[in-house]
Structure 1
């Protein structure tokens, strides 16, 4: 598995051809996790090679437009903060400062959290909780912005409250504060279904924020949210220990064990146990072992790849299609073996086993 991770990183090229994006940020998180547990320089070298191709010496980020107000673009900022604290290269701090400026100006719903993107107005998506809030916390701690630390905790708690569905004890993919989107329930503003990777994003946001958040009521409240979610998710595992693309509908034809969500949740269960947060490590170990046993495939070149990774899923119009957020919709999206949205969390989970 170390060889798989190393070869994957060595072959990796910017996911979108150059611009900094959240997919690259997933890889950077995996590389940081592997470096921190092994102490090996190769993981940092991979990251520096890739980041330096995306961030110019003056801190300009390739393809970045602040006023797109795209929360996805912020995830790679966590690598910038990490690098800025360890290398005497001003590009990392300058670029991180630009992302912090974006969050300072980024539109918010009236309940507090940021819009997902400028083109998705008044909407909070679970994905965005992970994309923006751990960066906001880590930037605040690293560079003397206590307001960012408090905001990260407040916005995470607000986002979780807005997307929680009490009947299922899970979190819906998104919330429309304006209750104007065709996919949104006109009374609750919630999207219609649960998507496993969205829940994985939210769970990773919880655990990565709690890891660095100072002790107090907000940390306790986020921990309690994770504990309740962990208890519910253990009721939804497949027979071999994974989670389904639509996690609470095992009876639905075509539903399948999805690898990115399984890797994310494996990572969170294991990390939460390591941090002493009162949840069991075993579901994470079982999920990770199941990925190794059941999800790896051999591609046409004979190379081993992590299979059953859904490429993308969202809500509203995209590329000429309307994504209505119904359970059936999530089963129509393409599967992309070895997609970084699965491999990055797999690396994070692997680091927790070492």
Structure 2
């Protein structure tokens, strides 16, 4: 198809980066690229996702430049000295804007500065009044009444769980609430045959929702990637003594298995629209961000003992090297480029196949780069030699 030809031509014009098995330090190379290119600070989830990669670049290198750059992005531009968030709207209730509170907690741990904890607490207090569906699910945004998008689980639940673990561990109501968000998605949206989960579920009516099930029509690769990553984050802090812990683990493990079955054999990565029969469609394409998210989730799940090494490690390693082969190249000025990340896909209006197939493809999109850096950290610290 035309898109595939143009994409291949664009990649061919750039020098290929060294292969993953050459142990090229992609993590710090990508961090250096973004420092060189510059990033506009804000409290959106795209930059929050990129900052996760900088946390790992600092961890693997112990080079203060990565922490200093990261802290400089937040100071004055996002978190003010009095502990408030610049231009924060206390009645907006957009889950996408909750994600960066994880980054505030990270900087609080690294610096001890109370302003970061205060900023995180603002977001935690927003959770108490976030609008809910009749079943208790968080609205994805105040603009999308009674709609739960898989993206939203990543945006809100890991922070909700981390805050509760750190500062309110005996709050069973909070733990039950976190579990409820996953239970609703699993009960209403998980396909029992494929094990995959479509982009969203409406606890009521929505233009894109099936009138009977409330489920959106297609499985979008990055939405499922956000969901997979959210589970591996929440499981690390969710109390093992809680009866919901085993449910969350089963959700993660069963999805990990479904991802093995849906990975494209030829490319080693995953399709933009994942459910059968659409991977065979000419208009479909392999996508970088979701592929990086799934690979990171596998690596992290293996490292934490959630997934058996013998069943997943070789597949995860092959997925990582496939991402490098399919999507990574070196550009001018020693810049590293991740190709193949699809632009934002929203549940607004008509979200048919043509919509998902026609969305633009971006180079070095933060939603792809952050997860690739996370996967690279796992690769570079243990996986490549395991």
* TM-score greater than 0.5 by the shorter chain: yes
The answer for the alignment partner of 1:204 in structure 2 is 229
Q: Residues 79-98 of structure 1: matches in 2 within 5 Å?
A: 79-98=103-122
Residues in 1 aligned to 2:326 and 2:364: alpha-carbon distance in whole angstroms: 14
CA drift at 1:302: 7.5
CA drift at 1:164: 1.2
The alignment partner of 2:375 has SS state of: helix
Residues in 2 aligned to 1:251 and 1:293: alpha-carbon distance in whole angstroms: 21
TM-score by length of structure 2 reads: 0.84
Which of 164, 170, 173 matches 2:190? 164
Residues in 1 aligned to 2:182 and 2:56: alpha-carbon distance in whole angstroms: 22
The answer for the alignment partner of 1:7 in structure 2 is 32
Summarize deviations over 1:278-314 as a string: whole Å, max 9, x none. Answer: 3422332212111112212455878431001001101
The alignment partner of 1:111 has SS state of: coil
CA drift at 1:176: 0.9
The answer for the alignment partner of 1:102 in structure 2 is 126
Aligned CA RMSD, in angstroms, stands at 1.9
The answer for the alignment partner of 2:22 in structure 1 is none
1:24 aligns with 2:47: yes
5+ long unaligned stretches in structure 2:
1-25, 382-386
The answer for the alignment partner of 1:73 in structure 2 is 97
CA drift at 1:149: 3.8
1:42 aligns with 2:65: yes
TM-score by length of structure 1 reads: 0.91
Q: Residues 285-324 of structure 1: matches in 2 within 5 Å?
A: 285-297=317-329, 303-316=335-348, 322=349, 324=350
CA gap of 1:46–1:159, structure 2 versus 1, over 3 A, is farther
Summarize deviations over 1:136-156 as a string: whole Å, max 9, x none. Answer: 011112223543344323323
CA drift at 1:96: 0.4
Runs of 4+ aligned residues of structure 1 deviating over 6 Å after TM superposition are none
Q: Residues 44-193 of structure 1: matches in 2 within 5 Å?
A: 44-52=67-75, 53-144=77-168, 146-147=170-171, 148-178=174-204, 180-193=205-218
Q: Please, which moves more after superposition, 54-63 or 118-127?
A: 54-63
The answer for the alignment partner of 1:243 in structure 2 is 270
The answer for the alignment partner of 1:268 in structure 2 is 297
Higher relative contact order (CA 8 A, sep 6+): 2
Residues in 2 aligned to 1:2 and 1:201: alpha-carbon distance in whole angstroms: 20
Conserved in 2, the CA contact under 8 Å of 1:268 and 1:284? Answer: no
How many correspondences in the alignment?
345
